[in-house]
Chain A
Amino acid sequence: MNNDEIRKAVGSWLDDNWSADMSLVEWRDILVDGGWAAPHWPEEFFGRGFTQEQAALVSDVFTEKGAVGAAHAGPRRLAAETILAQGSDTQKKRYLRPILTGKEAWCQLFSEPGSGSDLAGASTKAELIDGRWIVNGQKVWTTSAHHADYGILLARTDWDLPKHQGLSYFLINMRQPGVEVRPLRQMNGHASFNEVFMTDAEVPSEDLIGGQGNGWAVAATTLSFERRGFALSRSAGEIKGAKVGRVYDEYEAELAVANEPYTWYPQRQGRVDLVVPRAIETGAIKDPQVRQEIARLISMSKGARLASAAAEQKRRAGTNEIIPAGSIGKLAASVIARQAAHVHTMITGADAMLSGPDSAAQGIIAETLISVPAISIAGGTDEIQRNIIAERVLGMPKELRSDTGPFRDIKRNTS
């Protein structure tokens, strides 16, 4: 189909089938049966084998018609793409449909208290006993675990192999007695993540994915989708037209749950947008030192944006050069956020001792000051990003390793 035919096909299908008066699950069942829930997936699994560009076209028509699409928010997308790429046909048949309809929510069980930057050092244990995998261990920084029905789990199945080779990847039911979810409170008071404790939790043998010992490769698939970003997440506000009807209400509620952990995310970026207005409002714009620091901040922020645009152009042009976009962008966000917090501090002065609705910018400044430390940790610390830049972009020699040989002999954290 060419682009016009695609637009026409999806448009007339929506005219025939879309109605805002259904329940969300009811509508999405129709959507999945119609083959428009995930058009970039293969035909045998709910899709049409479209390219990403064609799928984006479909998404545009949905927006124009005011129609709600498949469930996409949060970690469920990572689970879906991983299952699609590496799962068995049985797994695809069992799990993909409820992900698309939003009936089942997912979480990602990767990080552990003992292995943060060193993800492959995971020590959650999975043992095959009487045809079932028995899981023991603890995961952390698990977004939306308290809403999740299933989790994608990285666990160690062999302690005698080198660390990357002893890992396996599972699909685990979160609604079972052996799984306990506790909210993890952060220094800024929010609890956006959870700790997940697994005590003799069970996974049926068929819910191993990618084969025993291939967990690291499967996790790499998930991480590559994660890096491609959550750009998909949109709000019902972007859907055109009047949003009256049961589907919209339930969709808004679904998004509210999915987005709840992220309300403070703009603050961890430093709220660069508030710097100049607040400097003017408070009169700090007259302070020569504040002016210097604002100028530095604007320069960094513009430099980062321009460098990222230049890298994107090079990538599109298909150069052989190594393009230092991802890790540099991540590192840049940290540097910019810290500088913004520094300037906010200068501008706000002693009032920065306060927090809450009575404090500067209705508490936004206070929340910024105590949220910025997250930006240089989440998604790979600044230090790890610098290693990646140095080794992969600049080609500097690799760090000497002290984690080779059987995993059980490697020094690790003791709790």
Chain B
Amino acid sequence: MQTEFTEDQQQFREIVSRFLRDKSPTSAVRQLMATEQGFDPAVWQQLSGELGLAGAHIPESYGGFGFGPVELGIAAEEMGRYLYCGPFFASSVMAGYALMAAAFEPQKEKLLPAIARGETIATLVLDDLNSPDRVGHAISAVDDILSGIASLVVDAHIADVLVVIASTGEDLGLYLVDSSAEGVVIEKREVLDPTRKLSSVRFAEVKAEKIGEVSMVSLNQAWDQICVALAHEMIGGAQYLLDSTVEYTKMRVQFGRPIGSFQALKHRCADLLMEVEFARAATHHAARCLDAGEGEPYIASMVKAMASDTYMNAARAGIQLRGGIGFTWENDTHLWFKRAKSSEVFMGTPHLHRERMMTIMEANTNEQ
């Protein structure tokens, strides 16, 4: 198993980072988050076409870059740092991983190349965003006719196609629906984090194409992969908050000295650095575990919980150490705070993941 980044991977990070620094400054984030669409199609095309990020983790045989979770993680980490606004997470990460885990071969061959090129924007419709165990409770498929509602779907408002996991009674199936199909009602929701757009998606007896079978194993596998990518996004954001907050304490003067010279602030920053270091090392390790198919079986839940707590701690410190200015709309810190909060609860809160981690650990101990 890989234990450090290769030179190629480091270069890849630099390329992604440079691109996002240029294309996703906070001025762009603020502008995009206020729009209906929430993303810039030109930047998305460059990011997918020129950099190949949308297909980083998709095998070359399906038109992707053929990298793995490590490179996808690098891309997600940098996007988290720059709060990139676009369908990367919904289309590439969520729909991409779900298709790779559960779709039939012909549909993989048909759908994945378009997703990898960024030409088709897909999203994964899950009727529960808390735990894989609850998926399938609200959307059912009878003779490939979908009924029900998913109340939280990322980027459904800009998706061309919906990849839906629905209950077939006993089992779960994977379905494909055109977002403009008759009977599909997509309504944008008011969101806490304006950089991550959510909609409800209602299916009123919609004819769908069944494109795969979803077992609990494949659902958990996709869930893990999505969580590890999300953890990368979160540690990227946490690192940005740490860096920017420390810089602020060096510049801001009160009582005749930079506030960073006060131990109360130093100690909080030191603790935060430690937490960020741990979460990042663990998250990078998790991607390598997924890549190699070995390591701790509970690693995805472990890092989702760690990255969530770390990002929120960094966000709280980011506001607190700036004082009053940190609570203003004008200051950028709240953009990351809101992303931290929405990421904390997205795909399972930390406490659910810790419980899942223990359950997996026990199951594996009992097997041995």
Q: Chain A interface (Cβ within 8 Å of chain B)?
A: 285, 288, 291-292, 294-296, 298-300, 302-304, 306-307, 309-311, 313, 324, 328, 331-332, 335, 383, 385-387, 389-391, 393-400
| Residues 76-118 of chain B, each 1 if its beta carbon lies under 8 Å from chain A, else 0 | 0000000000000000000000000000000000000000000
Chain A residues with CB below 8 A from B270, complex form: 331, 385-387, 389-390, 393-394
Give the CA-CA distance A390 to B242 in the complex, in Å.
12
- Report how far A296 CA is from B351 CA in the complex, Å: 10
Complex Cα gap A146–B78 (Å)? 57
- What are 19 A-B residue pairs whose CB atoms fall within 8 Å in the complex? A288-B355, A291-B358, A292-B355, A303-B279, A306-B282, A306-B285, A307-B280, A309-B281, A324-B277, A328-B274, A332-B278, A387-B266, A389-B269, A390-B260, A390-B270, A394-B269, A396-B260, A396-B269, A397-B260
On chain B, the residues within 8 Å of A310 by CB distance are 4, 277, 281, 284
Please determine whether B281 and A390 come into contact, CB atoms closer than 8 angstroms: no
Nearest Cβ on chain A to B229's Cβ, whole angstroms: 18
B279 CB to nearest chain A CB (Å): 6
B158, CB-defined interface residue at 8 Å: no
| B76 vs chain A, min Cβ distance (A) | 18
**Known contacts A299-B305, A389-B270; A306/B278 CB under 8 A:** yes
Q: Given the complex of chains A and B, what is the CA–CA distance between A303 and B4 in angstroms?
A: 15
**Cβ contact of A285, chosen from B282, B305, B355, B362, cutoff 8 A:** B362
Q: Confirm or deny: B3 has a beta carbon within 8 angstroms of a beta carbon on chain A.
A: yes
Asked if B277 and A328 sit within 8 Å, CB to CB, the answer is: yes
**B residues at A contact (CB < 8 Å):** 3-4, 246, 249-250, 257-258, 260-261, 263, 265-267, 269-271, 273-274, 277-282, 284-285, 296, 302, 305-306, 351, 354-355, 357-358, 361-362
Minimum C-beta distance from A319 to chain B (A)? 11
Which of A307, A386, A395 is B271 in contact with, Cβ under 8 Å?
A386
Q: Which of B3, B250, B263, B278 contacts A399 (CB 8 A)?
A: B263
A298: B residues at CB distance < 8 A = 302, 357, 361
CA distance A299 to B354 in the complex (A): 9
Question: Taking A302-B302, A397-B257 as contacts, is the C-beta distance between A291 and B269 under 8 angstroms?
Answer: no
Residues on A with beta carbons closer than 8 Å to the beta carbon of B250: 395-397
CA distance A296 to B279 in the complex (A): 12
Instruction: Give the residues in chain B near A307, CB-CB below 8 Å.
Output: 277-278, 280-282
Given contacts A386-B270, A400-B257, 10 further A-B contacts (CB under 8 A): A285-B358, A292-B351, A295-B302, A295-B357, A298-B302, A306-B284, A313-B4, A328-B274, A394-B270, A395-B250
A302 vs B306: C-alpha distance in the bound complex, in angstroms? 11
